[in-house]
């Protein structure tokens, strides 16, 4: 099987999920190609080649400093046509989801998003992904003779760490760079330090924090743990914090190594967005809260006493 992974970068730094896609490709076997697009791909391509990216297809151009749907789609469509991969994979991040839906439409291929498993069954690729809010796991296979486009849920696969590769500097048609949209800059949203979808540790706040003035209480714990801050839909709808922090069915689906739920009761809409976390710790004064049904560890107590104590403890550990 010939597999093309798409490595996404921002501000000249590769997304960790790009290396997870390479590892997923390695586990499937076959011939691996990795596409990387940037204003200057040199250091990025070298990193990908050293970490198992196989034949790294590097496209450098000044207009690739920032992500642009149109330009990325045209370039990758050209590379897919040239190398004829059977499987094209990338991360199910904000940019990855937007890009792969366009690619699949342009190439007439099948697409599966937010995939959590890849296997070969009698030389046919079968992917698994959650459906209906995570209550059903669906198996899909492509059979139309076109490339199968897949976005992988972050943190499902480990990152590729090593492997010999080679760099191929690609030259694409000038028409690929023609666009009616020019991206001049990207800005990090105020208050957001880590990407929720890629974070290894997430600390989320729920209605139990009682008011917007207590959001900082949970953010302080997140900072002490070096974690991303998340939120339930209830406090987002109440205007206590921004939508970009929302975890759940109508927010972001996350899969960290550690998820700490502070004052979150455990409504199904929230659980479907975080229940695949490796370890879940719940802090809630209600011992019958549904969140405890899926938590690995539970602290039944007043979060206004528990959270500051934990924050103080972790801050002390950082200073050692």
Residue 182 inside a domain? The answer is no
CA neighbor of 261 nearest in space, from 244, 240, 242, 275: 275
| 312: enclosing H helix or E strand | helix 303-319
Looking at the fold, whether 209 and 143 belong to one and the same domain comes out as no
DSSP secondary structure string for all residues of 174-192 = GGGG--S-------PPTT-
Convert the pLDDT of each residue in 231-280 to its tens digit.
Answer: 999 999 999 999 889 998 778 888 899 999 999 999 988 998 898 899 99
Domain of residue 68 covers 2-177
Looking at the fold, whether 45 and 143 belong to one and the same domain comes out as yes
Q: In whole angstroms, give the CA distance from residue 107 to residue 320.
A: 55
Q: Tell me what the mean pLDDT of segment 115-139 comes to.
A: 83
Looking at the fold, whether 89 and 234 belong to one and the same domain comes out as no
Looking at the fold, whether 87 and 236 belong to one and the same domain comes out as no
Residues 6+ apart with CB under 8 A from 204: 218, 229, 230, 231, 232, 247, 259, 260, 261, 262, 264, 274
CATH of the domain at 25: 3.40.50.620
User: What is the pLDDT of the chain when averaged over all its residues?
Assistant: 91
Looking at the fold, whether 121 and 45 belong to one and the same domain comes out as yes
Q: SS3 breakdown of the chain: % helix, strand, coil, rounded to 5?
A: 35, 30, 35
Looking at the fold, whether 74 and 139 belong to one and the same domain comes out as yes
Residue 240 inside a domain? The answer is yes
Q: How many structural domains compose the chain?
A: 2
Q: How many residues does the chain have?
A: 320
Residue 183 inside a domain? The answer is no
pLDDT recorded at residue 146: 84
Q: From edge to edge, which strands make up the β-sheet containing 166-169?
A: 110-115, 148-152, 87-91, 2-7, 31-38, 55-60, 166-169
DSSP secondary structure string for all residues of 57-118 = EEEE-GGGSS--HHHHHHHHHHHHHHH--SEEEEE-SHHHHHHHHHHHHHHT-EEEEEE-EE
CATH of the domain at 242: 3.40.50.1220
Residues 6+ apart with CB under 8 A from 302: 285
Residue 186 inside a domain? The answer is no
Residue 191 pLDDT grade (very low, low, confident, very high; cuts 50, 70, 90): very low
Residue 179 pLDDT grade (very low, low, confident, very high; cuts 50, 70, 90): confident
Looking at the fold, whether 203 and 165 belong to one and the same domain comes out as no
155 touches 200 (CB < 8 A):
yes
Looking at the fold, whether 56 and 148 belong to one and the same domain comes out as yes
Pairs from 283-290 (Cβ < 8 Å, separation ≥ 24): 283/307, 284/208, 285/208, 289/264, 289/265, 290/265, 290/266
Looking at the fold, whether 22 and 127 belong to one and the same domain comes out as yes
Residue 133 pLDDT grade (very low, low, confident, very high; cuts 50, 70, 90): low
Residues 6+ apart with CB under 8 A from 316: none
Looking at the fold, whether 28 and 103 belong to one and the same domain comes out as yes
Convert the pLDDT of each residue in 39-86 to its tens digit.
Answer: 999 999 999 999 999 999 999 999 998 899 999 999 999 999 999 999
Looking at the fold, whether 235 and 121 belong to one and the same domain comes out as no
Residue 134 pLDDT grade (very low, low, confident, very high; cuts 50, 70, 90): low
Which domain-ending residue is among 145, 177, 209? 177
Looking at the fold, whether 13 and 157 belong to one and the same domain comes out as yes
Residue 189 pLDDT grade (very low, low, confident, very high; cuts 50, 70, 90): low
């Amino acid at each position: 099987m010939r597999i093309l992974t798409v490595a996404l970068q921002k501000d000249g730094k590769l997304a960790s999920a790009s290396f997870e896609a390479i590892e997923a490709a390695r586990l499937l076997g076959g011939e691996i190609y990795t596409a990387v697009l940037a204003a200057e791909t040199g250091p990025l391509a070298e990193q990908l080649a050293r970490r198992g990216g196989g034949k790294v297809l590097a496209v450098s151009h000044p207009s690739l400093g920032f992500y642009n749907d149109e330009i990325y789609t045209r370039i990758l469509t050209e590379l897919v046509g040239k190398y004829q991969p059977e499987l094209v994979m990338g991360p199910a991040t904000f940019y990855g989801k937007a890009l792969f839906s366009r690619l699949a439409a342009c190439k007439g291929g099948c697409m599966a998003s937010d995939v959590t498993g890849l296997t070969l069954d009698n030389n046919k690729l079968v992917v698994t992904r959650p459906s209906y809010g995570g209550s059903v796991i669906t198996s899909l296979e492509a059979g139309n003779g076109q490339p199968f486009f897949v976005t992988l849920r972050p943190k499902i696969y480990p990152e590729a760490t090593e492997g010999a590769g080679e760099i191929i500097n690609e030259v694409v048609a000038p028409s690929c760079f023609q666009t009616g949209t020019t991206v001049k800059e990207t800005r990090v949203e105020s208050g957001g330090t880590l990407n929720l979808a890629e974070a290894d540790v997430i600390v989320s706040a729920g209605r139990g924090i009682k008011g917007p003035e207590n959001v900082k209480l949970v953010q302080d714990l997140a900072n002490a743990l070096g974690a991303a801050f998340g939120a339930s839909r209830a406090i987002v709808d109440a205007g206590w914090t921004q939508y970009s922090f929302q975890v759940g069915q109508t927010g972001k689906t996350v899969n960290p190594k550690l998820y700490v739920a502070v004052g979150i009761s455990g409504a199904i809409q929230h659980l479907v967005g975080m229940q695949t976390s490796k370890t879940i710790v719940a802090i809630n004064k209600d011992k019958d809260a549904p969140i405890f049904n899926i938590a690995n560890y539970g602290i039944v107590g007043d979060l206004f006493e528990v959270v500051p104590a934990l924050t103080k403890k972790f801050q002390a550990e950082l200073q050692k």
